[in-house]
Structure formats: structure tokens, C-alpha cells
Amino acid sequence: MNIHQIDLNRLKEFETPFYYYDLDLLNETLDRAKAAADKRGFHVHYALKANFNDKVLGLIQSKGFGADCVSGNEVQKSIDSGFPAQQITFAGVGKSDKEINLALDHKIFAFNVESIQELLVINELAAKKQVKAQVSLRINPNVDAHTHHYITTGLDENKFGVPNSELEKAASVLRECGNLELLGLHFHVGSQITDINVFKSLCVKVNEWKNWFEERGTTIKVLNVGGGLGVDYHEPDTHPYADFEAYFEVFDKFLERNAQQEVHFELGRALVAQSGTLVSKVLYTKSGVKKNFLILDAGMTELMRPALYQAFHKIEKLGAEPNAEELNYDVVGPICESSDCFGKEVPLPVSERGDLIAIRTAGAYGEVMASKYNLRDEIRFVFSEDL
Ligand code: LLP
């Protein structure tokens, strides 16, 4: 159920702040994504880092998605949530020995390896266990994702992946490592990508590197193109679903591959963002010298994206009368930091203590990035089915 359809008095029964998850919307989003991928024979691993709330994860697992993990704990969480090990990928520039061993023990589908040194370490640890680790080599394709610089990952200046200049060496290391099996290549250029041409550019690079390896006699079975599909933070109700059809179609059209080659994706945000809303209460209103402040009981500790990336989230007053008089507010939280601000000069219906405020499109990188700073409460959540 959309947050605006819920009876305000019912919502007020829950202690704020809390994340509200619209499971109907999540369900429909997952079905659309899965159908668009299945139609083209594509494999989608859900990037757990976007949201690992148990119920959300359970629903995603039940739809047959794989899991994309970036820590040993995420690998374990995926296993515990029922994702088959053979559908789990493990990425990240800094995998510890403990995490690698855990993933080896679970016999996961693939390590997305980010450096030559990491190849050698996985080989050594796999040798000790007398197993073979399946790996995909993460290549830094130097494609500009045209997104916020903090969430751009595929440029030469970023720490991710093996740079082009080292690929020759990586290929020879792979040939020498008896306990590694090269599955294929992995790419990820950034997050919240709304320009579909970025994915087209990525396809061009993937084709180039696939050919490069094949010309050297290496079989490439898996092409993992990462995640990054963006969502509409400005109009969540007009565009509640990302355009999965258009997204997958670009890869279908522009990725060169043979019948044996699999295409894998790691989507996070586009699957979960629109189904989450942070619901908060107005604690105080304050008219400063130059500003009107709306002081909420949620802060950067519950939703860090605005403070960390100056990210935009649509802010709405719940239960507002149509055509109500509006004021421009700086919507801030209670945390002792000036960056604890959800939006500046936000036009909102005149609000008062006790009003409920919705901060939309918070289902991805919201709850999972919550912190205990200022010794805040554990984050709370409410599901549409609880109402
Ligand atoms: N695969 C890899 C290797 C990644 O690094 C990421 C995200 C994904 C997949 C999933 O990307 P998505 O489909 O969600 O765009 N906290 C930031 C986003 C960080 C993304 C990190 N990597 C934010 O709140 O915008």
C-alpha cells in the first residue's frame, strides 16, 4: 500500500522514526525485473548492500534472484536467507582471509576479484583447502557513469578492479594459479545511473575486453556487468518502477556473446529503493533569522544519503489538505552536525509539532546505512502487511 493511502491515525500508532516498506510495490518491482531478465536468459544477483532487512531479503530470495555480497557476513546472511551458494557472488577490494575462507567453504558461485594480489591470496587459501575457487576478474573499464563522484566506481582514478595496464599480468597469473578457475569478467561502473547510454558505453568496453581474453585463448563463460540502474527520486509515485525492459534490452542488443556465454547483473537500488519510506515526526518548528526549520525526530543516523552525498529525497507531509498554504523549510534532524539536513528550502504545507513527514525512495542504502551515532535507538520498521 502506498504511504499516502494509509490512514494517518493508524500510522501515528507506531513509534517514529521508522522505515515503512510497501511489500506490494516491492513484489511488483521484483516480478517486473525478473520477467524482463528471464525473457533474455539473464541472471540477476541482488546486491545485498542496498537492503538486507530480513523480510525484504526473504521476498527477493523467494523470487529466484541470486545474491551479490561484499563481505563475509553478507555471504553468510545470503546462505542463511536461503539463497543457493551457486547463485552467490562475492565482490570487494578488501576481502580478508577469514571472509575468503568462509566463501570457499560455502562453495559460492564466484569471487569477483579486484587485484592480482587478491588472485594469489585466493589461490593460496583454496590450495590449502584443496578446492578450486571460481573467479571473475573485475576490470576497471574507465567508463564515466555521470553520477555523483562518491558512487562512481569505473574510472581509472577509482580503487575498484584491475586497471587495464595490469591485465596482461593478471592473465598470466590466472594461467599459473592451479586452484583458480576463471569464469569470466566482471564490471561495475557506478550507481544511480539514469543515462542509459552509460550502459551502452559499458557494453562496448565489455566486448573489447572479452575479445582481448578470447584472442589469448581464454574461455569467458560469464559476463557480469554489475548493477547501477537508477530510480526516480524526484517523482516516486509517477515512476515507481525502474525501466527494467529498456535496461536489459541495451545489454541484449549491444553485448556480443555466444550461446554458451551467460550475462549476469548485480542490481541493488532499482529493486528496493521505491518500496521504502522513512516516516518521521515533526518535533519542533523554528523560525530562524533567515530560515524556517522543521526539526524531525529522524536524522542522518536513520538516513545518511543526504548528509553523505547531498542526495535528494522527496519530502512530503502526510495527510496534508490539498491546496494547503505552503512555507519553505529547511528539514533537519536532531543530530549534532550541520550536515544533518534532509533538504533545504523545501516547499511544504505549513507544519506543526506532531505532524508526520515522509522521506521517500529510502528503501535502498537507507536502513542498512543507519548508525548508532549519538547513541540513537535501533532503527524500527513497519511493513504494509502489518497495517
Ligand atoms: N555491484 C557492485 C560491485 C557494487 O559496488 C554495487 C554498489 C552494486 C553492484 C549495486 O549497485 P546498485 O544497483 O545498487 O546501483 N550508498 C550509495 C550507493 C553505493 C553503491 C555501492 N556499490 C548510495 O546511497 O547512493
Q: How far does residue 231's CA lie from ligand 1's centre (Å)?
A: 13
Q: Cβ(193) to ligand 1 under 6 A?
A: no
Distance of CA 215 to the CA centre of its chain: 34
Q: What is the 3-state secondary structure (H, E, C) of 187-205?
A: CCCECCECCHHHHHHHHHH
Measure CA 233 to chain center: 14
Q: Where are the alpha helices (DSSP H) in the chain?
A: 8-11, 23-38, 54-62, 72-80, 97-106, 116-129, 167-176, 196-215, 244-254, 269-272, 305-309
pLDDT digits (tens, 9 = 90+) for 352-375: 999 999 999 999 999 999 999 999
State the amino acid at position 316 in one-letter form: E
- The tens digit of pLDDT for each residue in 10-60 reads 999 999 999 999 999 999 999 999 999 999 999 999 999 999 999 999 999
304 Cβ neighbours under 8 A, 6+ residues apart = 365, 369, 370, 371
CA distance 117 to 23: 42
Length of the chain: 387
Best residue for ligand 1 mutational test, from 49, 149, 229, 361 (most atoms within 8 Å of Cβ): 49
pTM for the structure as a whole:
0.96
Q: What is the pLDDT of residue 150?
A: 59
Which atom of ligand 1 has the smallest separation from the CA of 91? 3
Answer yes or no: is pLDDT of 142 > 90.
Answer: no
Neighbours of 183 (CB within 10 A): 24
Mean pLDDT lowest among 117-121, 287-291, 309-313, 363-367: 287-291
Query: If you ran DSSP here, which 8-state letter would residue 175 be given?
Result: H
Sign of the Cα pseudo-torsion (345, 349, 353, 355, in order): negative
Binding site membership of 154 for ligand 1 (Cβ less than 6 Å): no
Residue-wise pLDDT tens digits, 143-194 = 776 666 655 665 566 667 888 889 899 999 999 999 999 999 999 989 999 9
Question: How high is the pLDDT of residue 289?
Answer: 80
188 close to ligand 1 (CB < 6 Angstrom): yes
Q: Is 68 in the pocket of ligand 1 (CB under 6 A)?
A: yes
pLDDT tens profile 194-206: 999 999 999 999 9
Nearest CA to ligand 1 atom 16: 365
Instruction: Supply the DSSP string of 122-161, one letter for each residue.
Output: HHHHHHHHT--EEEEEEB-------S-GGGB-SSTTSS-S
What is the per-residue pLDDT for 140? 86
Structure confidence at residue 52 (pLDDT): 98
Residue 200, all three cell numbers: 551502452
| Residue indicated by cell numbers 584472442 | 215
pLDDT single digits (tens) 209-239: 999 999 999 999 999 999 999 999 999 999 9
Mean pLDDT, the chain, whole residue set: 95
CB count within 10 Å of CB 223 equals: 25
What's the 103 CA to ligand 1 centre distance in angstroms? 21
Mean pLDDT of 280-295: 93
Would residue 69 show up in a list of annotated catalytic residues for this protein?
no
362, 17 Cβ separation under 8 angstroms: no
* DSSP-based three-state secondary structure for 15: coil
**Residue 267 marked as a ligand binder:** yes
CA of 256 to the centre of ligand 1 (A): 25
Give the integer Cα–Cα distance in Å for 328 and 254: 46
Cell numbers at 219, concatenated: 574461455
Least confidently predicted of 135-149, 266-280, 325-339? 135-149
- CB neighbours of 29 closer than 8 A, spacing ≥ 6? 240, 241, 242, 270, 271, 272, 274, 275
Cα–ligand 1 centroid distance for 326 (angstroms): 36
Position 70 pLDDT exceeds 90: yes
